[in-house]
Amino acid sequence: MATKDEELYPRKILEYMEGFLVSKTLFTACELGVFELLNASWMSASQLAQALNTSEDGTERLLSACVGLELLTAHTNPDGAVLYSNTEMSSVFLTKSSPKSLYHSIEYSSRTIYLCWHYLADAVRDGKNQYEKAFGINSKDLFEALYRSDEEMVKFMQLMNSIWNICGRDVVTAFDLSPFKCICDLGGCSGALAKQCVSAYPESTVTIFDLPKVVKTSRQHFGSDQDERISFCEGDFFKDALPQADLYILARILHDWTDQRSVELLVKIYQSCRPGGGVLLVESLLHEDNSGPLTAQLYSLNMLVQTEGRERKGSDYRRLLTAAGFTHVQIHTTGKIYDAVLACK
Ligand SMILES: C[S@@+](CC[C@H](N)C(=O)[O-])C[C@H]1O[C@@H](n2cnc3c(N)ncnc32)[C@H](O)[C@@H]1O
């Protein structure tokens, strides 16, 4: 008789091996627009194939796999016709117009991140990102590479934007930030986290500091300056003076950079920060013994294929903050994707 391990282990290995089949099914259904068409309506595979200009057989198999993944639900009519519609999960998270949509994250994962991951073995060998191989571009200036066209930049910004509608509140309320009235969100992108901040702390104002072309695009495409408590400041946080503030937020910034560049930035922040002020880091923290969480471990590999940085442990951030002069470092793991670290001047 087979032992439990003999049954379980190959099943687990096969599940890992075939994980990309699931990703690609999700990517494809999103990119073809399946969830847009099946939002609050029932259609057969052949109706959908006609609307999407796809093969009936391929469409039927895709829809069937989506049913298996609980992204769609199927219903058989008395005449035997199978009709498909979105599940609640797809309606809320996979349709473009939903406030909690992850559509753009999925699109960016499919068109950009997935291509970098093709070179993961090279990234592990070389210890650096793989833009050269994946896209034929030099990544000496990381964000020049990431923003290699206006279209890529907007897609990246949409990717950054989407997660804070889902878990932004958790990170801005991980600590009581109400004493900090004047907040600067460094590398704040299109302002999704800034919006969560002013919603949780209505008396605060947030200045989003980001590269000039990101600020222009935020104004053009994201309508981020419609709330009078939110404003923008253009600049390069490694080169230009930073706005004065009580609290600086660095959300998913330090994980892009080496320890040396991170300390360089933290020292600049320390110098601009008002006495009694602080810095809030928002990152996905690894356990102290590196044993998990799996999401942070995989994100760290993602940082390897895409950036100059890595995911870190709470103690790593404590070390970087202390090296820059900050004290009273407090670490708050949320149990969700992103955690928070607060330090004071
Ligand atoms: C990984 S994204 C994080 C965006 C946002 N904080 C979030 O969590 O959604 C990094 C951000 O840093 C900005 N950035 C990168 N280099 C910068 C620099 N030298 N000066 C200012 N902003 C920079 C990018 O434009 C981008 O918005």
Candidates 214, 238, 299: which one to mutate for ligand 1, based on the most atoms within 8 Å of Cβ? 214
How do beta strands 245-251 and 182-186 pair?
parallel
Would you say residue 4 has pLDDT above 90? no
> Is residue 2 very low, low, confident or very high in pLDDT (cuts 50, 70, 90)?
low
Kindly state the average pLDDT of the residues 235-254: 97
Q: What is the pLDDT of residues 305-323, one digit of tens each?
A: 999 999 999 999 999 999 9
Cα distances (Å, whole numbers) of residue 9 to 4, 12, 15, 22, 295 = 8, 5, 10, 20, 21
Candidates 144, 189, 257: which one to mutate for ligand 1, based on the most atoms within 8 Å of Cβ? 189
Would you say residue 26 has pLDDT above 70? yes
| CA atoms in the 13 A half-sphere facing the CB of 63 | 29
**Residue 47 neighbours by CB under 8 Å, 6+ apart:** none
pLDDT of residue 221: 82
The percentage of the chain sitting over the pLDDT mark of 70, rounded to a whole number, equals 99
Is residue 247 packed enough to be buried (19+ CB in 10 Å), middle (13-18) or exposed (0-12)?
buried
C-alpha 185 – ligand 1 centre gap (Å): 9
Q: Supply the residue whose CA is at minimum distance from atom 3 of ligand 1.
A: 252
The percentage of the chain sitting over the pLDDT mark of 90, rounded to a whole number, equals 93
CB 209 within 8 A of CB 240: no
Q: What is the largest CA-CA distance in the chain?
A: 74
Show the tokens assigned to 178. Answer: 């109400």
Kindly state the average pLDDT of the residues 30-42: 96
Would you say residue 1 has pLDDT above 70? no
Question: Which residues, judged by CB distance below 6 Å to any ligand atom, belong to the binding site of ligand 1?
Answer: 143, 160, 187-189, 193, 210-211, 214, 236-238, 251-253, 256
pLDDT of residue 5: 82
pLDDT of residue 295: 97
Would you say residue 85 has pLDDT above 70? yes
pLDDT of residue 223: 74
Cα distances (Å, whole numbers) of residue 217 to 106, 130, 171, 191, 241 = 21, 26, 25, 11, 22
Kindly state the average pLDDT of the residues 123-140: 94
CB 170 within 8 A of CB 195: no
Show the tokens assigned to 146. Answer: 């990431």
Q: What is the pLDDT of residues 261-297, one digit of tens each?
A: 999 999 999 999 999 999 999 999 999 999 999 999 9
Would you say residue 104 has pLDDT above 90? yes
Show the tokens assigned to 321. Answer: 């903050």
User: What are the residues facing 283 on neighbouring strands?
Assistant: 339
Q: Residue 298 corresponds to which amino acid?
A: L
pLDDT of residue 132: 93
pLDDT of residue 226: 81
31 closest CA partner among 86, 85, 142, 105: 105
Kindly state the average pLDDT of the residues 164-182: 96
C-alpha 66 – ligand 1 centre gap (Å): 35
pLDDT of residue 200: 97
Q: Supply the residue whose CA is at minimum distance from atom 5 of ligand 1.
A: 188
Kindly state the average pLDDT of the residues 161-181: 95
Q: Supply the residue whose CA is at minimum distance from atom 12 of ligand 1.
A: 187
Q: Supply the residue whose CA is at minimum distance from atom 16 of ligand 1.
A: 143
Q: Residue 119 corresponds to which amino acid?
A: Y
> Is residue 224 very low, low, confident or very high in pLDDT (cuts 50, 70, 90)?
low
Helix ranges, the chain (H): 4-17, 19-32, 34-37, 45-52, 56-68, 88-93, 103-108, 114-117, 120-126, 131-135, 142-146, 150-172, 192-200, 212-217, 259-272, 294-306, 314-323
Mean pLDDT, the chain, integer: 95
Kindly state the average pLDDT of the residues 39-55: 96
Helix ranges, 201-313 (H): 212-217, 259-272, 294-306
Number of CB atoms found within 10 A of residue 203's CB: 8
Distance between CA atoms of 336 and 295, rounded to whole angstroms? 10
> Is residue 76 very low, low, confident or very high in pLDDT (cuts 50, 70, 90)?
very high
End-to-end CA, the chain: 64
Atom number of ligand 1 nearest to Cα 147: 25
C-alpha 33 – ligand 1 centre gap (Å): 30
User: What are the residues facing 13 on neighbouring strands?
Assistant: none
> Is residue 86 very low, low, confident or very high in pLDDT (cuts 50, 70, 90)?
very high
Q: At what angle do helices 56-68 and 19-32 cross, to 10 degrees?
A: 120
C-alpha 68 – ligand 1 centre gap (Å): 38
Distance between CA atoms of 115 and 20, rounded to whole angstroms? 12
Q: Supply the residue whose CA is at minimum distance from atom 18 of ligand 1.
A: 236
Give the catalytic positions in this structure: 255
User: What are the residues facing 84 on neighbouring strands?
Assistant: 43, 74
Number of CB atoms found within 10 A of residue 133's CB: 16
* Ramachandran angles phi, psi of 147, nearest 5°: -100, 45
pLDDT of residue 135: 93
